[in-house]
């Protein structure tokens, strides 16, 4: 069964460093998303991406964040200068229409 994959599973970085989180969505899906979940809190929407452009973003997704689909298979989330409060699980999701399928997540720890 096709699934969304994410790498790395765990990323530790120092405050101020740039990180890139990678996702491989399900191959025939057209819509891509990033969500995050701070430990003990709700899953929060960050951004959606369709047709090579951002279709919607939340107030969390500020200028420090960017997304890219560099080739036909990968979908990346870049955080330019990480802050302590960026520590969270980051989930990628993709959909064809309707239901979204989530990856296993990347745990980002900013020290």
Partner 1 sequence: DAKTTQPTSMDCAEGRAANLPCNHSTISGNEYVYWYRQIHSQGPQYIIHGLKNNETNEMASLIITEDRKSSTLILPHATLRDTAVYYCIVRVAGGINDYKLSFGAGTTVTVRA
Q: Show contacts with partner 1 in window 17-36 (CB under 8 A).
A: 31, 33, 35
CB of 48 or CB of 82, closer to partner 1: 48
- Of 75, 86, 103, 108, which one interacts with partner 1 (CB under 8 A)? 103
- Cα–Cα distance measured from residue 102 to residue 36, given in angstroms and rounded to the nearest whole number: 11
- Does residue 10 contact residue 90 with C-beta atoms inside 8 Å? no
* Cα dihedral across residues 7, 37, 76, 96: positive or negative: positive
**61 is a site residue for partner 1 (CB under 8 A):** no
Q: Is the peptide bond before 8 cis (omega within 30 degrees of 0)?
A: yes
Q: Which residues contact partner 1 by CB under 8 A? A: 4, 31, 33, 35, 37, 42-45, 48, 50, 55-56, 58, 89, 91, 93, 95, 97-105, 107
């Amino acid at each position: 069964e096709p699934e969304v994959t994410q790498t790395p599973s765990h990323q530790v970085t120092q405050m101020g460093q740039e990180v890139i989180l990678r996702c491989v969505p399900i191959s025939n899906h057209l819509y891509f998303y990033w969500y995050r979940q701070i430990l003990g809190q709700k899953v929060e929407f960050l951004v959606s991406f369709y047709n090579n452009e951002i279709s919607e973003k939340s107030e969390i997704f500020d200028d420090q964040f960017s997304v890219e689909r560099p080739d036909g298979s990968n979908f990346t989330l870049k955080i330019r200068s990480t802050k302590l409060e960026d520590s969270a699980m980051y989930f990628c999701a993709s959909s064809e229409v309707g239901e979204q399928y989530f990856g296993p997540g990347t745990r980002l720890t900013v020290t």
